[in-house]
Structure 1
Amino acid sequence: DRTFNNKSPNKMAALGKKSLSSIFKTKLSGANYETIKSELANYIEKNAPRVEAWGYLLSLEQCGNSSQLLSLVKEIQSTSGSNLSHGMSEFIKKIQR
Structure 2
Amino acid sequence: MVKIDNETEKETVYRFPDGFLPHEVVFAERPGATAEDDGWLLGPVLDGNANIANLSVFDARDIEAGPVYTGTLNHHLPLTFHGCYTPRVGRPH
Same fold (TM over 0.5): no
- Could you state the TM-score of these two structures normalised by the residue count of structure 1? 0.24
TM-score, normalisation: structure 2: 0.24
Q: Which has the higher helix share?
A: 1
Of structures 1 and 2, the larger Rg is shown by 1
